[in-house]
Amino acid sequence: MKRTTILLLILAFGLSACDGPSPSKSREAEAASRQLVPKDPDIAAIYGRSCSSCHTVAATGAPLTGDGAAWTPRMDKGMDVMVDSVINGFGGMPPFGLCMDCSAEQFEALIQFMATPVSSQ
Ligand code: HEC
């Protein structure tokens, strides 16, 4: 085998390895999450400028909007804990989820919306 062929094979393998275990599944969940918008226009505006930038992008590690399976174990911790996670920051999420002037009630509405499975929206 020629040296360039080996290099190409290594490159091809390296690129495919970056896709992770189930790229099509997370792409579907991403596409589904991007269709969803909160019904309340004020909440929709906050969601559009803050939360959606991460919660519709699987690579951020954020539970995707409408992905019931990702949200159920988190919601089991209780709404108060969820709101505290946003206010204090949690893992890859910065404090306030990038909405510095949001109230606890607005966070609750945003979380309720994001955690509602696609099939029930
Ligand atoms: C910069 C990216 C980013 C933004 C913006 C963001 N999040 Fe997150 N969020 C994340 C990530 C990443 C996680 C998962 C963190 C982990 O599990 O380590 C997460 C997790 C959460 C959780 C679950 C916390 C828990 O205790 O399990 C809630 C609730 C949440 N986000 C709400 C929001 C809300 C509401 C907004 C908008 C106001 C928002 N996020 C904006 C990245 C973001």
Which sequence spans correspond to the domains of the chain?
22-120
Candidate of 57, 93, 112 to mutate for ligand 1, largest count of ligand atoms within 8 Å of Cβ: 93
CB 60 near ligand 1, within 6 Å: yes
pTM of the model: 0.85
Own/partner pairs, 66-74, CB within 8 angstroms, 24+ separation: 66/29, 66/32, 66/33, 66/36, 66/114, 66/116, 66/117, 66/118, 66/121, 67/29, 67/32, 67/33, 67/117, 67/118, 68/115, 68/116, 68/117, 68/118, 68/119, 68/120, 71/114, 71/115, 71/117, 74/115
In a structure prediction context, what are the per-residue pLDDT tens digits for the chain, which is 121 residues long?
566 665 555 555 555 545 445 677 789 999 999 999 999 999 999 999 999 999 999 999 999 999 999 999 999 999 999 999 999 999 999 999 999 999 999 999 999 999 999 998 8
CA of 3 to the centre of ligand 1 (A): 46
CA of 37 to the centre of ligand 1 (A): 17
Query: What CATH architecture applies to the domain 22-120?
Result: Orthogonal Bundle (1.10)
